[in-house]
Amino acid sequence: MTPAYEEIVSQNYNPTTGSGPLGQMISVFVCPSDLRSEDNRIAWNIGPSNYHCSVGDCWTDWYNGPGTRGPFCHESKAVHGLESLTDGTSNTLLIGEVCQASNFNQNSGVKGDIRGSIASVKAAKSDTPSTLTGRVCFNTKLSNGYVGGTSTGVVDVDCDSVGSRWGDAWDVYNTFSAVLPPNAPACSTQGPASGSLSYWSERTALVTMSSHHSGGANAALGDGSVRFVSETINHETPGTSGLDASADPSELIGESPFGVIGALGSINGGESVTP
């Protein structure tokens, strides 16, 4: 990996084009259970990834937002080391497994596989994530294991983005939020800042852990351990507004409203839980 890193840094490759090493399939970045990896690499000529960094119990505008409640955030917002994980390294998610997108597009209102799809839901603007709640996203799940449907207010279901670029730090490609349990829907607010209803925004995506394993997904914690996180993990904290709470990190203080999964996501919420 060192030669690839040095080449990427020296050449300043664009991650959207798959130039140089960015077009390579890196075996440690993909899960053998996700059979989409090679198809995705061929389809877009960019190396995919199944392992995403935790932004904690929130989602926000990755570039222009206030930062995150997790160990990873945009470089201009903060620098976090292990000393920042004051909830404890064994209680904090670092890396989570996320299914890659299918290598095809879906049109307006068309249902997509809940693993790897992004549901674009109605919200005021893409730069105000507080208008999208965990419950709104959770309710895009259909009974047959798909996400979408115009009855849920979904305008578009996108199936060609999640995990499709290991070299791109935007939300949908390499991050996840600890708000909903594994194999729950992933969502985005709609459109650029104009509030367009025909375009989902990669800047404000709530990506959820997911896998093709039965019943949950694998995650790495701050202490280096790897745990299996069940898709039935608690995701609403009693005595709080739960999934109706804003997931804007500037509005979250202290204990996470998103139950055990949220507590594992926050680095300094004051909780002490394990998967």
Which structural domain range is residue 49 located in?
A: 2-265
Q: Which pLDDT score is estimated for 149?
A: 63
Position 97 in a domain: yes
The average pLDDT across 86-109 equals: 80
CA 132/CA 140 separation, integer angstroms: 12
Position 270 in a domain: no
Domain count across the chain: 1
Specify which of 146-160, 199-213, 234-248 reaches the highest per-range mean pLDDT.
234-248
Return the number of other C-beta atoms located less than 10 Å from residue 150's C-beta.
10
Q: What pTM was estimated for this model as a whole?
A: 0.87
Convert the pLDDT of each residue in 49-96 to its tens digit.
999 999 999 887 777 777 788 898 877 677 788 888 888 999 999 999
Residue 88's region, left for phi above 0, alpha for psi from -120 to 50, else beta, is left
Position 99 in a domain: yes
Contacts of 56 (CB under 8 A, 6+ apart): 68, 69, 70, 71, 177, 178, 249, 265, 266, 267
Closest CA to 98 of 164, 50, 42: 50
